[in-house]
Structure 1
Amino acid sequence: MPGIIGPSDYSQEPPRHPCLQVNAKEPFNAEPPRSALISSYVTPVDLFYKRNHGPIPVVDDIERYCVSITGLTGNPKNIFMKDIWKLPKYNITATLQCAGNRRTAMSKIKTVKGVGWDVATLGNAVWGGAKLADVLELFGIPKFTGTTPSGGKHVEFVSIDKCKEENGGPYKASIPLSQATNPEADVLLAYEMNGATLKRDHGYPLRVVVPGVIGARSVKWLDSINIIPEECQGFFMQKDYKMFPPSVNWDNIDWSTRRPQMDFPVQCAICSLEDVNVVKHGKITIKGYAVTGGGRGIERVDVSIDGGKTWLEASRYQKTDIPYIADETSSDKWAWVLFEATADIPQSAEIVAKAVDTAGNVQPENVEVIWNLRGILNTSWHRVHVRVGHSNL
C-alpha cells in the first residue's frame, strides 16, 4: 500500500508504558495491572491493552495512504485520508475486549491454547472517525442494506499487518453487511482515540472499531475493505475465536461446526483486589468493571462476600465530563460501567462479582461449564480471596 509499510522484524516497535504486564514480546502482547483500569472511566491510551500478531506497521506518508474498496460493489476505488476526514465525524465511547480476556483462570481448569491474559485485556476509549455506513454509501451501497445487487453480504477488513497464522499474509476479519451499513451500529473507521490521533500500537492511521463485538473483528492498520458474498475465510474467522463445548479437544475438533464469535457475552471483574489479598481491617472497597456486547448495556452488578450465598448490589457509574465526547449519548450502550461496593468481611472471605445486562443475561457461576480449548469468553463469576491480617505492602 502506498504510504504504509509492514516491517519484516521488530526493530521499529513504538515505546510502551513500563507498567504493562508483558505476555509476549514478539509480537508484543501486554495488559495493564488490573488496578490501573479503575483509575479512569476512559482508559489512557498508554494503558490500553496491546494485542498484536506481527511487527507494528509504519506509515511514512499520510497523504499517500489510502484504503481500497473492492469486491462486489459497483464502484471500486481508493479512498484517501483527506476524503475520510471530510465525512461527518463521530465520537463513540466503546469498550474493546479481547476474546481471551481472563484466560488464565480458564487454564487452571485444564490447559488451553493462547496468550495468558489476566482480567485487564480490555479498555474503554472514545473513538473518533467516520461511520463505515457513510463510507460505503460513497461507493453506491445504501444505508440499511443487507445484500448488494451483485450478491455482497459481508464486509471484510484486511490489514497491512502480516501474521504467521495467515502464512505470512495479512490479518483479516469480516462483519455482516447489514451491520456495516447500519448507522446505529456505530461501526467506525477511526483515526482518533481519546481525542488524539491514533497511536501506532492501536492502528495508526486508520482502524475499524466494531462496538459490542470481540476485539478480533476491529481490524487495525486498515489496508482494504472488500464486499464479499460470505464470511471472511481467514484464519481468525474460520480456525480461531470460535466457542466450543468442554467435550471438544484438539483430536476431535471440527472448526466448520461453529460460527465465528461476534458479540461478547456479559462480563465483569474485580480490579481493586488481587487474589489473595491481605487487608488491614474488616471493611474493604470492591471496585471493578462490567460490560456486555450487542449494545445491550449493564443493568446491575451484584457483589458477594461469602462466595455467592448472599448478595448486595454495587453502585455503578459511566460517563463523566469528557470534552471530546460532546453529545454522543448513544455511546453509553457500547461502554463499560465501573462499579463499587463497600463491605465488612470476616477473617477471610471469597469475594465474588457478577453482572446482569439489560436482556437479563447473567454470567455463569463456574468456569468449568464454559471451558473451551482456546480459552475464550471466560465470563464466569469473578472471584478473589481476602483475609484480614497485617500487610507488608
Structure 2
Amino acid sequence: MVEFPQPFIPPSLQEPGRECPALPLASLPKLPINDTPTVIVDLDAQTPDNWVKRNPDFVRLTGKHPFNVEAPLTPVFNAGFLTPAHLHFVRNHGAVPRVDETKLRNWRIRVHGLLERECSFSIQDLKDKFQVVTLPVTLVCAGNRRKEQNVVRKSLGFNWGAGGVSTALWTGVYLADILEYVKPFYKEAKHVIFEGDDELPNGPYGTSQRSSVAREKRNGILIAWAMNGLPLEPDHGFPVRLIVPGQIGGRMVKWLRRVELSAKESQHYLHFFDNRVLPMQLSPEQARAEKEWWYDPRYMINELNVNSAIVKPAHQEVLEIHSHPLNQTTSPREATYTLRGYAYSGGGRRVTRVEISLDDGVCWKLADIDYPEDLYRSVYHEDPVYGLLDLTERDTCFCWCFWKFDVSVKDLAESTVIAVRAMDEGLSIQPRDMYLNATSMMNNWWFRVAILRTETKSGVKLKFEHPTIPGVKPGGWMERLKTSGQDIMQPDFEPIATDTVERQPVPPPSAILMTKSDANRLITVDELQKHDKSTPWFVIQGEVYDGTGYLDEHPGGTDSILLVAGDDATEDFIAIHSDDAKMKLAKFHVGTLVGKVDDLKSLRPDSNSTSDTASLTSSVLLHPKIWKTIKLKTTQPINHDTYLFRFSFSEANTPLGLPVGKHVFVRLKRKDTGEIVQRAYTPVSKPDTSGEIDFLIKLYLPSSHNPIGGKMTTGFHQLEVGDCIEVKGPLGSFEWKGNGIALWRNVVHKVQHLAMICGGSGITPILQVLRSVFDDDHDRITKIFLIYANKTEEDILCKEELDSLFKIHGLGEHPRFNLHYILSTLPVPLGWTHSSGRVTEDLFRAHFPTPADDCLVLACGPDAMIANAVKPGLVKCGWNVEKSLVVF
C-alpha cells in the first residue's frame, strides 16, 4: 500500500527537520542531507513570493523576482548524486502559486481533448488508480552555461553558470499509464499539452510533447508529487508537476493543472518564445523583432545535448607546489591532483567518454567515469513512500555522471589550461567552438579552466580560473581575456607570469587512422545496399570499406564480414577489434557514405521481419543481425577462476539455433564503468538445448599485475542473477555438418581425422565439435586427436567429461580419440603422465596424425600461442596452415 509522505506539506512550510524517508538498500546512492530553509530571505520580502522560504546562499540570476537561481557549483557537487531541495536549481517565470490546505484538497488535474474518457484526477486518485513509481532523473535548464555566451554577446537570456543542473528521486505515476486509461484518439491527437497554475502576463506556463513520445513508458515521463521522498517544495512545483527525463527543464511544467490531447502543439506563449536555438546568423535584436523565427519547429529544443564541466579545481582555488625545480627528474611517487566534474546527455543516451586535455585540445586523455545511476539497475524494491523503484529493465541514462582524472602537479604547473569534453553513445561530442545563438541556450563548447602560474620563493603557486561567474558578478577568464582585447571565441591561454622552465614540444596524439587519403569516392546508401554481397561493403564511422580482400584471413571467419554487408558495423567493430586491426582497416577503405547511418538501421529486419534472413531464424533465438536479450539464471564455480553462467530465454521452448562449430557475439554493459563491451564466445550447451544457453567463462579480474583485467570477463563477474545480456549469431567460417563433413570458408571438406589444439577456455568450441562427433550414430570413422594446454592441472576445464569420452572412445581395439594434456607450470603433480612445458613441433609429431587431405586442424587459444607456437610448429611438421588450419 503506497502512502503519501506525511504530512503532505513541503518541509519548508511544516516540520523543516524532516529528512528523506530511508531506502533499506545500502548499495544505492546516499539520500541527500537536507538543510531546509526556515526563514524568509530579505530579498523576497517585497515580492509576491514573500511566503516562500529559500536558501540565502543561492546565486540569484534575475534579481529579486522572479526567482531564478543556481547554487554555487562546489556545494551541489559535494552533495553527491542526489541533490537536496535547498540546493536544486530553480527556474520560475513568475510568482509561485500559493497552495494552502483548502486548495490542496481541491487540486485536480484535468485530462481532456481528443480522447474517449475525459477525467479529473486528484493526487489521491493518481495513487489509487496507477502504479506509483520512483525514478532518478537529472534536470538541466536549457540555459545551463549561458553566461559564457553572454560574455561574447549579450543574448535574450540571463546569466546561468554551470550550476543549472541537479538530480533527485522523483515519485509519481507514469503519464503513459494515464493516457492508456483515458484512451486518446491517437490518429487525431498528435500532441499532449501540459499547463501549469502560475499566473503570467501572457497566460500560464504551458508546453507540449508529441503523443508518440508521451505514451511510451520507457521514456519515463512522470506526473510527480515527491522529490527525494518528500513533498515537492513550492519552487519545485508543489503539489504536483511533470518530469520528462532526458529533456530540458523547460518541458517539465510545474504546478500541473491540465493535460490536453490535441491535434496541434501547445499554443502557450512561452512554448514558442522560449527554449529555442535559433540560427547562428540571427542576432538577438533580429530575433526579438522577427517573430516568425520562433514558430519554426526546426529550432525547438527538447532533448538535452551532451555537456560536461569541471568542478574541481574550483574557481579561484590555489594550489601551492613546494618541491624541487620542475626541470629535474621527479620521483615515481610525485604528487598528483584529482580533477573532478560532471557530465550528462539527453534522450536517455549514456555518456561514453570524458576526455581531458592540458594543452587546449592537442592531446586528450580519458577520464574515469562513475555512473551512480547504474546502482539502481540491479534493484527491484517496493516501498510505502517511493512506490516501485525498479530500473532493472531500463538501459536509458537519465542522470548525470561524475568523472575524475589524476594529473601530476608537475604537468599542471607546465600547463595553462584544463579542457574537458564528453561524448555520448550517439557519438555526439562537445564541440571546440561555441555555437553563438540569440537565446544562448544549449551552450556546450569545451569547458576550460585557465591556470595562472606564479613563481614563489618556495616553488610555484597555481591559481585556477573558471570561464565565468554565474549571475551579474564579474570574474572568470573569459571576461579577463575580453578586456585584454582577445577574441575569446578562439582563446589564447598565455601565462601571466614569466615561465622560467624550458618547455618541450608536445607530441601529436597517436590517433589510429582507418582511412586512405586517396579514397575520395562518395557512396550513397542505395549504392551500398545494392552492392554485390559476395564482395561485401560495410560502414564504420561513416566510411565505407570493402571486406572482400580480408575474407580468407579474417580471424572471426567469413561470416563475420558477410553478415554486415551493406550495413553499419561501427558498434561491433570498435567493441571487438584491437588497435592493430583498426590500423589494418585503412587498406580496405573505399570511400565515404553519403547519407545518414540511421538510414541503414531503418532498413534492417526486426524480429518480426518477413525477410529471408529473418524467416530463416524465426523459430530459434539467434539472429545474425539482431541482438536478443537473455537473462542470467544461475552461476556455478567450476574452479578458482572459471564459472559456468546459465542464461534463460524469454520462451522456454525456443531452440538456440547454433550450428556446431559456430559461435555467438555476446554484449553486456559493465556495471562499474557503464561501458558496453562485446566479444565472441562458443557456448558449452548441447546443440539440442532449448530455452537456455551455457557459457564457460574464465575470469581475468583486475589484479596487481593486471590493474585493468579483462573488460568482458570482469563484466561477466559483475552480473547477478536476473541481469540481462544480449546475444546474436550464428557467426564463424567453420561448421561441422556431421558424419565426417565440415564446411569451412564455403568449401565442403570430407574429414576422417580432426587434430585439435586448444588452451584454457579455448576448449569451448573444441568441445562442441568433439561432442557432435561422438554423439553422431552415423559417424563411426572420424578420429580425433586433442592436445589441451593449461598452466596447472586445476586449470583444465571439463576434464571429467574429456576423460570420460576418452574411456569410451580412446581405448579398445579401434580407438577414435587421442587425448593429451600439457602443463606449462612446473613442477607438475606427482604421477603426471602427460606432457609439461610449451607447445612445440615435437608435441605435434607425437600426438597428431601426419598431414593429409582428409585432415583438418582446429585451434583455439591465446593469440600468442596460435601465432608463436601452433602455426610454426605445424609448418615444421609439414602442414599447410592456409588449407588445413581452422582458428576459432
- TM-score (norm: length of structure 2): 0.41
Relative distance call for 1:259 and 1:387 in structure 2 (3 A) is closer
Contact 2:343–2:403 (CA under 8 A) maintained in structure 1: yes
Q: Which amino acid counterpart does residue 212 of structure 2 have in structure 1? A: S
Deviation per CA, 1:123-171: give whole Å up to 9, x if none. Answer: 1111111000111222123xxxxx625x11111110001223x2xx100
Q: Cα gap change, 1:157/1:135 in structure 2, threshold over 3 Å: closer, same or farther?
A: same
Give yes or no for the alignment of 1:251 onto 2:289.
no
Kept after mapping to 2: 8 A contact 1:275/1:385: no
Which residue is 1:288 aligned to? 341
C-alpha contact 2:115 2:183 (8 A) present in aligned 1: yes
Distance 1:331 1:26 in 2: 40
1:144 paired residue number: none
Distance change (3 Å), C-alpha of 1:366 and 1:351: same
**Pairwise CA distance, 1:239:** 2.0
Q: SS where residue 84 of structure 1 aligns? A: helix
Paired with 2:440 and 2:57, the residues of 1 have a C-alpha distance of 25
Q: Does 1:148 align with 2:186?
A: yes
Distance across 1 between alignment mates of 2:49 and 2:219: 38
Match of 2:106 among 54, 59, 64: 64
Aligned with residue 176 of structure 1, among 196, 210, 217: 210
In structure 2, the residue matched to 1:15 is: 53
The CA distance in 1 between the partners of 2:97 and 2:367, in whole Å, is 42
Name the structure 2 match of 1:3.
none
Residue equivalent to 2:65: 26
Deviation at 1:283, TM superposition (A): 3.6
Conserved in 2, the CA contact under 8 Å of 1:91 and 1:328?
no
The residue number in structure 2 matching 1:132 is: 175
Pick the structure with greater CA Rg.
Answer: 2
Between the two proteins, what is the percent identity of the paired residues? 30
Distance 1:340 1:11 in 2: 39
> CA 1:210–1:11 in structure 2 vs 1: closer, same or farther (change >3 Å)?
closer
CA contact (8 A) 1:277 1:386 kept: no
Post-superposition Cα deviations, 1:61-113, rounded to whole Å, max 9, x if no partner, equal 32211111122122223111111112211111111110100001011221111
Which stretch shows the higher mean deviation, 352-361 or 65-74? 65-74
Aligned to 1:109: 152
Partner of 1:372: 437
What residue number does 1:201 align with? 235
* Structure 1 residues 193 and 42, CA gap change in structure 2 (3 angstroms): same
Question: What SS class does the counterpart of residue 46 from structure 1 fall into?
Answer: coil
Give the Cα–Cα distance (whole angstroms) in 2 for the partners of residues 275 and 350 of structure 1: 13
Gaps in structure 1 of 5+ consecutive residues: 1-7, 142-146
CA contact (8 A) 2:133 2:389 kept: no
Q: Is the 8 A contact 1:248 1:373 kept in 2?
A: yes
Q: Which amino acid aligns with 1:339?
A: W
Between 331-340 and 321-330, report the one with greater CA deviation: 321-330
Shift, 1:284, TM fit: 2.5
Asked if residue 263 in structure 1 is aligned to residue 303 in structure 2, the reply is: yes
Corresponding residue of 2:399: 335
SS at match of 1:263: coil
Paired residue secondary structure (2:416): strand
Higher RCO (C-alpha under 8 Å, 6+ residues apart)? 1
Task: Name 1:158's counterpart in structure 2.
Answer: 195
Between Structure 1 and Structure 2, the one with more helix by share is 2
Q: Which amino acid aligns with 1:57?
A: P
Once the 2 structures are TM-superposed, how far is the Cα of residue 14 of structure 1 from its aligned partner? 1.6
1:181-223 superposed Cα distances (whole Å, 9 cap, x missing partner): 1111100001111121111110111100001111100000001
Paired with 1:245 and 1:358, the residues of 2 have a C-alpha distance of 26
Q: Residue 152 of structure 2: SS of its match in structure 1?
A: coil
More strand by share: 1
3-state SS, counterpart of residue 397 of structure 2: helix
**For the Cα contact (< 8 Å) 1:348–1:387, is it kept in 2?**
no
Is 1:383–2:448 an aligned residue pair? Answer: yes
- 5+ residue gaps, structure 2, are 1-45, 322-334, 454-459, 465-888
Deviations 1:293-341 (A, max 9, x none): 1111111111112212111111111227789684324376111101111
Kept after mapping to 2: 8 A contact 1:98/1:122: yes
SS at match of 2:347: coil
CA separation of 1:289 and 1:72: change in aligned 2, threshold 3 A: same
1:214 corresponding residue in structure 2: 248
The one-letter code of the counterpart of 2:84 is P
Asked if the contact 2:452/2:463 (under 8 Å) is kept, the reply is no
Equivalent residue of 1:288, what SS? strand
Per-residue CA distance 1:351-382 (angstroms, 9 max, x = gap):
01110101111011121xx1101110001110
Moved more, 14-23 or 216-225: 14-23
SS of 2:209's equivalent in the other structure is strand
Aligned to 2:727: none
The one-letter code sitting in structure 2 at the alignment partner of 1:14 is V
Q: Distance in 1 between matches of 2:448 and 2:398?
A: 25
User: Which runs of 4 or more aligned residues in structure 1 lie more than 6 Å from their structure 2 counterparts after TM superposition?
Assistant: 320-323
Q: Greater CA deviation, 313-322 or 118-127?
A: 313-322
Question: Structure 1 residues 153, 57: closer, same or farther in 2, change over 3 A?
Answer: same
Is the counterpart of residue 35 in structure 1 residue 35 in structure 2?
Answer: no
Which of 347, 363, 367 is matched with 2:430 structurally?
Answer: 363
